[in-house]
Structure 1
Amino acid sequence: MMIISGVRRINIGNLHRISRCWLSSRMAEVTFNPNPEIKYKKIFINNDWHDAVSGKVFPTINPSTGEVICEIAEGDAADVDLAVKAAKDAFKKGSPWRTMNASKRGLLMNKLADLIDRDRKYLAYLGPYALEHYTEVKTVTVALDSKAAK
């Protein structure tokens, strides 16, 4: 069985081999960053970064040292309400997203995938802080492995 992803074709029967080879080649580029630069600390709603409505923040702890890396906006019900309203507005009749044709929406979704792929190392380095139950190598490996399925 073949799956077409963009312009790439992958034979599903060989995916486990591709994944294993790709992953082993990527392990050489995995190095844990104990002090990653935290670029975004606010809540992303309606294509913009916002402080929490309440002004609350919570500390993000480095699990290996116990040190506070940064404080991040702590969303609550008011922030959820804003996000839900923005999502509903995006689908109202006449909104830019709703009037955009499927091809253009697909291009935007592909651009998002490309940006995630471009920044996969940065996102993987943040993994240990976001998912403290993983070890850093496993988290980086899992994050980098997502490209293997392309």
Structure 2
Amino acid sequence: MSHRQLRDRYGMLDKRSEDNLWTLQPLAALKVRQMMTALRGLADWKLICGIRTYAEQDSLYKKRPRVTRAKGGQSMHNFGIAADVCLFVDGKDVWTPSEGADSIYKPVAALAHKLGLVWGGDFKSIYDPGHVQLGELPTAILHHAYTTGSATLAQLLQL
């Protein structure tokens, strides 16, 4: 399905979320849009990041405190199959509590798991509860497929 068809089927989200959704690969956009549509019914969740350039990823990698362990070309964001969400209350972003029984990310985790997305709160290397992605492919394989045109995302994910 195209991005327009997905929007028509699941409804329009806020502008920021829509702008970020349109940067995702259609397969990722479908799952993330389904998650965002369900989250919209619970609270003011917004999609705050979709695709990133390698330079944008490198800039995040250099930030302290560390917010990512992935350099440019090592993040699923670089391939349009990852997104970050954030809860907003009274127009302000809310990040805590991010862990434990009162975590604000419980609905994100539940929906990600239900939709077959990988949830960043399950990562072993860094806890990233606002992150969701389509699959767990090695980024070297993604980079090779994208630069050579040797495989589609569906083929890589064996869909």
Q: What TM-score do you get using the length of structure 2 for normalisation?
A: 0.25
Q: Which has the larger radius of gyration?
A: 1
Query: Which of 1 and 2 has higher RCO (CA within 8 Å, sep 6+)?
Result: 1
Q: What TM-score do you get using the length of structure 1 for normalisation?
A: 0.26
